[in-house]
Copies of this chain bind each other. A is one copy, B any other.
């Protein structure tokens, strides 16, 4: 199938890498809002186009993977591109999903296209595991832990503090909380009891470190409710030791079965990711395969990971899957 990428940041590059791993896919072009001449791809022989040219390439692209940010890019880009293309995005603003769904559904139906939104790992694979586990164990409790991983939002919040040159924030699950959940104790956990926060900060020369630390640990919503550690390091150390964008987490459901609910069960899904954007991209590419197949069966409108049968994600045939993976 022929894939287009709209937007070429970390996520777009990740999609490009993932396409290389899937021989049934071909990258047709990358579409950018920048000057196409300023964008250099990893893949030989693939052209970069202005995003405005995309509309002319409808017949050359089976699925357009939209790699933009959820704050301002995707609410605009996905409905726009869904007029012309089958599209996928990784819209991750959870509370705004129903509205985004509605906007995209309308134009996708009108255009006779299929749109898959909020594909990635959370939302995405984590959501899928919540639905599966809830369907199997209707009597139970859900827990999601995130990390250890870099939170871009929290890192940015630190960078906005006066005297801070650069910063990286790790969200880390609190092990004792995780264990209590796994043991079926069904604890009620406040945010600060589930996660702690570790901050690596590069201060400007002569900056008041005590004030910066205090501003961080007391920042409402972001840090005040958490056990927060601040370490000042050099820009060099930040680049060397904290250049990666790892992430991950755990989705756990604990539930009871039996006539008198006498038996306990724990379902846990764990991700440990070296690169958050590359894993998200890999999920996007697998779902691009499903979008292509579903569209070929005549399905249009907006869908999510909940609507996709696993068989449609796989490069293997149903017969191969039954023989080797069932």
Identify A132's interface contact among B17, B127, B281, B313, CB under 8 A: B313
Of A133-141, A158-166, A230-238, which binds chain B?
A133-141
Residues in B neighbouring A265, C-beta threshold 8 A: 271-275, 278-279, 282
Task: Decide if A305 is an interface residue (CB 8 Å cutoff).
Answer: yes
B310–A281 touching, CB < 8 Å: no
Taking the closest CB of chain B, its distance from the CB of A132, in whole angstroms, is 6
A201 and B135 CA atoms in complex are apart in Å by: 38
Taking the closest CB of chain B, its distance from the CB of A53, in whole angstroms, is 25
A289 and B134 CA atoms in complex are apart in Å by: 13
Residues in B neighbouring A275, C-beta threshold 8 A: 257-258, 263, 265
A262 and B94 CA atoms in complex are apart in Å by: 30
A16 and B138 CA atoms in complex are apart in Å by: 14
A27 and B210 CA atoms in complex are apart in Å by: 66
Task: Decide if A18 is an interface residue (CB 8 Å cutoff).
Answer: yes
Task: Decide if A123 is an interface residue (CB 8 Å cutoff).
Answer: yes
A18 and B135 CA atoms in complex are apart in Å by: 11
Residues in B neighbouring A307, C-beta threshold 8 A: 309-311, 318
A263 and B278 CA atoms in complex are apart in Å by: 8
How many copies of this protein are present in the complex? 2
Scoring A14, A259, A310 by chain B CB atoms within 10 A of each residue's CB, the highest score goes to: A310
Taking the closest CB of chain B, its distance from the CB of A117, in whole angstroms, is 9
A123–B326 touching, CB < 8 Å: yes
Q: Mark A267-295, 1 if CB is under 8 A from B, else 0.
A: 11111111100110111001001000000
A97–B17 touching, CB < 8 Å: no
Residues in B neighbouring A98, C-beta threshold 8 A: 319, 322-323
Taking the closest CB of chain B, its distance from the CB of A90, in whole angstroms, is 12
Identify A278's interface contact among B258, B304, B311, CB under 8 A: B258
A272 and B183 CA atoms in complex are apart in Å by: 10
Scoring A139, A263, A266, A289 by chain B CB atoms within 10 A of each residue's CB, the highest score goes to: A263
Q: Which residue of B lies closest to A257 (CB)?
A: B278
B128–A310 touching, CB < 8 Å: yes
A306 and B322 in contact (CB under 8 A), knowing A268-B270, A270-B268?
Answer: yes
A131 and B310 in contact (CB under 8 A), knowing A263-B274, A265-B272, A282-B136?
Answer: yes
Residues in B neighbouring A263, C-beta threshold 8 A: 273-275, 278
A97–B270 touching, CB < 8 Å: no
Having A20-B259, A304-B322, one finds 8 other A-B pairs with CB under 8 Å, namely A21-B257, A118-B326, A125-B136, A127-B325, A135-B286, A136-B283, A136-B313, A268-B272
9 tightest Cβ-Cβ pairs between the two chains A and B:
A263-B274, A135-B313, A257-B278, A135-B286, A266-B272, A268-B270, A306-B311, A263-B275, A127-B326
| A-B contacts, 28 listed (Cβ < 8 Å) | A42-B259, A97-B326, A131-B314, A131-B321, A132-B310, A136-B313, A137-B282, A257-B275, A257-B279, A263-B275, A265-B271, A265-B278, A265-B282, A266-B270, A266-B272, A268-B268, A268-B271, A269-B270, A270-B270, A305-B326, A306-B310, A306-B311, A306-B321, A306-B322, A307-B309, A307-B318, A308-B309, A309-B309
